[in-house]
Chain A
Amino acid sequence: MGCADIAIIGGGVVGCAIARELSRYELDVVLLEKEAEVGFGTSKANSGIVHAGFHSDRGTQEARLCVEGNKMFDALCGELAVPFRRNGSLLVTKTRSDMSELERLLSQGIHNGVPGLKILSGQQVLDLEPNLSRDIVGGLYAPTAGVVSPYELTMALAENAQANGVRVITSCEVTGMTFADGGRLKRLKTSRGDIIVRYVINAAGLFGDDIAALAGGGRPFRIIPRKGEEYILDRRVGSLVTRTIFPMPTPNSKGILVIPTADGNIMIGPTAVEVESKYDLGTTRGGFEEIFRATRDLVPSLDARDIIASFAGLRAASDRHSFIIERSPGVRGFINVCGIESPGLTASPAIARMVAGMIGEEMALKPKRSFNPERRLAPRFREMSTAERRRAIARDPAFGRVVCRCELVAEAEVVDAIRRGARTLDGVKFRTRAGMGRCQGGFCTPRVMRILARELGVSMEDLTKRGGASFLVVSKHADAGTAGIYGRDEGDECGAGMGAR
């Protein structure tokens, strides 16, 4: 697969933010992602909150990166056309004796540099959020908190990095490394061949400890997956709250929240449960019950019948209980960016800047004259005015073909998503929202499949939900050669995932 100055292992929000940051410079950068598309790890399955930063322990690296990252979101999401809203957050309590803890969080936040924090009375909280429980006695208001579409951000970062010259290679798992004399790294072995590199950045999320171990000298840290389940409610009840509602935090989590997502739904969650397997992405009945009990306590009118979808994500918590952003002790030219649990999404732009700085200490970074920070994408039919819709259809009739009835997504947007790199049903879903509405793909699945097959020039049996062996349909005809979900090995699928260049 040739060579590169820098290989980034892992196309989560962290790896993609680093890739985009490095694409500002005259460097040959390659991003390697084992899944069919970027963002298919933890970065697509989280709460999507851009945290204000008062939760983070006083003066830690995490606190600094969170507050710094938070400040970068307006400009970043503007450049990349990613849905982002600074909706503010309210941490509320029903217990008078918690007020001293609120004071402590306030002063922690002020110390961390969080602007605009304010303690509110119960009445003031209810004036802002009338659907909260009448029993609330006070809260901590953080106006700088926001919500972002985490998958769109990750995909947008990768698309923009790619447009600025980074090679994004998906369905490409890093499996080993070889070293030159003197401990300098030489090659990465991947499921798609070897690549000669000078520098490696390990942003492999849950698998960061496995990658770090490839550098030799044992496992410098361990990643312990911590599962969080989340439940999404129908858009119809999307205005139940406008700010993100936090309960009092516990020692190892921010608690179970009520989140108005950037896309206009209410989401409730997450749980926080340590699990054995890095693949354990199942939701549970216990999780559902815990979340409903906790959030109904704050917003009594929440109704379980409004749930339209659920998912689970795994936090890549490290046994050091903090972000690990450091040079590998064993190998030269190797940086670990691991253990990026919450608020990793928030911190990601600041982490990327920090990592670029670390690289700048070792090699000269020459700014790229042609760097274009902006991402271009088809306008969203759902967000257009009548006049805009009229013009769009006149320009491209595919805007007149609505494929997703719930989220009002036009065929032109699906085609654009595929042009920008979508290769799977989920890839289209995360880029366009087709299939994310209340019917959960019942209407649009066959339609999107047809468009994917047509645009990619493959048959319907070759399409997957999210890469690997997640085939969607099988052929009716015994005589059709390919056997869909059977008779094909997994690693083979990746051809389609090759960053389109």
Chain B
Amino acid sequence: MDVMRVMSVGRAWVRGEHTMDTKKGVVDGPDVAIIGGGPAGLAAAIGACNAGVDPDRVFILERGERLGGILPQCIHHGFGLHRFKEELTGPEYADRFIREVERLGVKVLLNTMVIELGADRRITAVNDSQGLISFRPRAVVLAMGCRERTRAQIRIPGTRPAGVFTAGTAQRLVNIEGYLPGRRAVIIGSGDIGLIMARRLTIEGVEVAGVFEILPYPGGLARNVVQCLEDFGIPLYLSHTVVEIHGRDRVTGVTVARVDSSGDAVPGSESHVECDTVLLSVGLIPENELSRMAGVEIDPLTGGPVVTESFETSVSGIFACGNVLHVNDLVDNVSDEGERAGRQAGLYATGTIGTTAGTPRPRPAVRPGPVPGELAAKHEAALLVARGQGGLSGSNFMRVVCTICPVGCIIEVRRAPAGEVATAPAGDGGGALEIRGNKCKRGATYAIEEFTSPKRTLTTTVRARVATCADVLVPVRTSSPIAKDLILPAARELASVEVRPPVRIGDVIVRDILGSGADVIATASLP
């Protein structure tokens, strides 16, 4: 048994600054060890505590310098609608769980990479303060998340210049490190991450030449197609792909082509797009190196472990949840799953239940594609982008894709000619409005707002001056949606704002930005 010091979670999440616990000495390993401190791991820790495990004997091992997994770099809003009935940004969503974990007193080891996992649940991890750590907990929860698919996996021919990034790596560069990947980007793949990055880059002043999607419909949510592309006039090319990357040192452009129904480039449809940056948003792969090492059975279809109803893998006492299991679109589901897996691991560790290995849980439905209603919404959203039909104030008609809920109703708004029966008050004094296609009231409200005065939440970062020479960024958002037209001017305004630490989550950074009535508030703390 190794001698190890334990660090408590408090203040530990910024830039590898840990606080050492006073009770140094021999700790005979945790009862439940959780590998990965993303939303799945955080929820699993809470679940294990709820099952009766002493929080002191629940460990989260996280290789990054802070908790939250991918969330700290997902500064956009759109998290937590199901769980908290609120639209949070990634850092805000993570903060709720981090605080709970902190309150419970769960032990967190940051900058700690698990490098080995045995079938007997022996964990070997490494960090720079304790060196090599090794213990054998009663139960292990795998919560390592996933990694991005790369250029090789979709085999784009051409040269290998600088300027080709996966969307997530670019997101980290922009939102955490404080740099831009380039000046003019092409995005391959219309998954949510690609769409989010198209908007993010535009807000940062990078030109996005287009998003190219090989399928005939966009991969991401209709809502993201509307709010990330259409809002900014970024073109979306469906049934298109990049067939070659050019450039010797840095990317100089790409050749794009239309594809036929089997995904092959149509000869003669090639054209050249100039750009210095290519972002790839072509899917995620569960990260199961450790699972394989422990001999955990992997489902070739999902790429994640085969698990039972209680989230136990084929190896007794090893549980799995979150993106390591299968790729989740919604973090809310990840948290639910994490809590349940953590609870099962806790019950297993306390001896309340035995192993359940052997009776596999049906794999989460792997959808061949979007469901019909969703598809229609995506198509409509794509059409809107194609027509460039945004903010048609003054016109008498508009089709909007409702982005309030995933049903994605296609709603028509028409300004009724004088004398006809009004179905809704116009709100702008310009005559009554007729609303069609909404399945519920919220949709009508949304459509009217889109027609009369569309509003959006701005999320971006501001610089913080700290002692080190490198910039540190603080993610921010507007406290409420602001007029769509104000998004880019407000972002420009914020580019020159500098804050002085400490900053606490929720602090007002700029009051009443550009007279919009909304404040700009911090979405994460910086000590």
The contact of B168 among A308, A405, A442, by CB within 8 Å, is A442
Contact B169 A442 (CB under 8 A): yes
Q: Are B276 and A485 in contact (CB under 8 A)?
A: yes
Q: Which residues of A contact B159 (CB under 8 A)?
A: 281-282
* Known contacts A305-B153, A310-B155, A485-B182; A471/B177 CB under 8 A: no
Answer whether A400 and B126 are a contact pair too, CB < 8 Å, given A442-B168, A469-B249, A473-B173: yes
Per-position binary interface string of chain A over residues 396-440, scored 1 when its CB falls under 8 Å from any chain B CB and 0 otherwise:
011111100110100000000000000001000000000000111
A349-392: which have CB < 8 Å to B?
Answer: 386, 389-390
Check: B453 CB closer than 8 A to any chain A CB.
no
Given the interface pairs A283-B158, A442-B168, A476-B204, the reply to whether A310 lies near B63 with Cβ below 8 Å is no
| A398/B113 in contact, CB under 8 A | no
- In the complex formed, the residue of B with least CB distance to A486 is B183
Listed stretches A58-66, A177-185, A267-275, A457-465; interface member = A457-465
Instruction: Kindly list chain A residues whose C-beta atoms are within 8 Å of the C-beta of B162.
Output: 425, 464-466, 470-472
Contact B250 A400 (CB under 8 A): no
A471 contacts across to B, CB distance below 8 A: 162, 249-250
A284 cross-chain contacts in B, Cβ below 8 A: 157
Which positions 459-495 of chain A face chain B at CB distance < 8 Å?
460-461, 464-478, 485-486, 490
B395: Cβ under 8 A from any A Cβ: no
Which residues of A lie under 8 Å from residue B169 when comparing CB positions?
441-442, 445-446
* Chain A interface, number of residues (Cβ within 8 angstroms): 61
* Range of interface residues on B (Cβ < 8 Å): 35 or more
The distance in angstroms between the C-alpha atoms of A478 and B176, with both chains bound, is 18
CB nearest to B150 among chain A residues: A440
CB of B148 within 8 A of CB of A442, answer: yes
Q: Which chain B positions have C-beta within 8 A of A304?
A: 155
List the A residue with the shortest CB-CB distance to B469.
A459
From the candidates A311, A402, A475, name the one contacting B179 in the complex (CB within 8 A).
A475
Taking a contact as CB atoms closer than 8 A, the residue among A279, A287, A309, A473 that contacts B181 in the complex is A473
Whether, in the assembled complex, A99 has its beta carbon less than 8 Å from a beta carbon of chain B, the answer is: no
Give chain B residues whose Cβ lies under 8 Å from the Cβ of A281: 159-160, 248
Taken residue by residue from 147 to 183, chain B's Cβ proximity to chain A (1 for < 8 Å, 0 otherwise) reads as 1101111010111111101101100111011111111
* Shortest distance from the beta carbon of B323 to any chain A beta carbon, whole Å: 14
Rounded to whole Å, the gap between the CB of B144 and the closest CB of chain A is 10
Known contacts A282-B244, A405-B63, A446-B169; is A485 also within 8 Å of B132 by CB? no
Asked if B153 and A473 sit within 8 Å, CB to CB, the answer is no
CB-defined contacts of A221 to chain B, threshold 8 Å:
none
A288 within 8 A of B: yes
Query: What sequence of 0s and 1s flags, for each residue 321-363 of chain B, a beta carbon within 8 Å of any chain A beta carbon?
Result: 0000000000000000000000000000000000000000000
Residue B115, interface by CB 8 Å: yes
Are A389 and B132 interface neighbours, CB within 8 A?
A: yes
B160 touches A439 (CB 8 A): no
A475/B180 in contact, CB under 8 A: yes
Q: Is residue A136 contacting chain B, with contact meaning CB distance below 8 A?
A: no
Give the distance in Å from the alpha carbon of A470 to the alpha carbon of B164 in the complex.
11
Q: Tell me whether B271 is interfacial, beta carbon within 8 Å.
A: no
- C-alpha gap A403/B163 in the complex (Å): 21
B128 lies within 8 A of A393 (CB): yes
- Chain A nearest CB from B171 CB (Å) reads 11
B246 contact set on A, CB distance < 8 A: 282
Q: What distance in Å separates the Cβ of B64 from its nearest Cβ neighbour in chain A?
A: 10
Task: Provide the residues of chain A in CB contact with B445, threshold 8 Å.
Answer: none
| Most chain B CB inside 10 Å of its own CB: which residue of A399, A402, A438, A461 | A402
- Asked if B131 is at the interface of the complex by the 8 Å CB criterion, the answer is yes
Q: Is the Cβ of B113 less than 8 Å from the Cβ of A402?
A: yes
**How many Å lie between the Cα of A37 and that of B127 in the bound state?**
32
Report yes or no: B151 in contact with A389, Cβ–Cβ below 8 A: no
Q: Collect the chain A residues with CB atoms within 8 Å of residue B249's CB.
A: 464-471, 490
Contact status A442-B131, CB under 8 Å: no
In the complex, the answer to whether B160 meets A311 with C-beta atoms within 8 Å is: yes
B264's nearest neighbour on chain A, judged by CB, is A285
Distance in angstroms between the alpha carbons of A29 and B134 in the assembled complex:
51
Contact A390 B177 (CB under 8 A): no
In the bound assembly, the distance between CA atoms of A466 and B158 in angstroms comes to 17
Return 6 A-B CB contacts under 8 Å, by A number: A393-B126, A439-B148, A442-B148, A464-B249, A470-B162, A486-B183
Give 15 A-B pairs besides A386-B124, A473-B177 with Cβ atoms closer than 8 angstroms.
Answer: A281-B159, A282-B244, A308-B152, A386-B134, A440-B151, A442-B148, A446-B169, A446-B173, A464-B162, A468-B248, A471-B162, A472-B162, A476-B495, A485-B182, A485-B276
A-B pairs, top 3 by smallest CB distance, nearest first, are A400-B128, A465-B162, A473-B179
A: which residues have CB within 8 A of B?
Answer: 236, 279, 281-285, 287-288, 304-305, 307-311, 386, 389-390, 393-394, 397-402, 405-406, 408, 425, 438-443, 445-446, 449-450, 460-461, 464-478, 485-486, 490
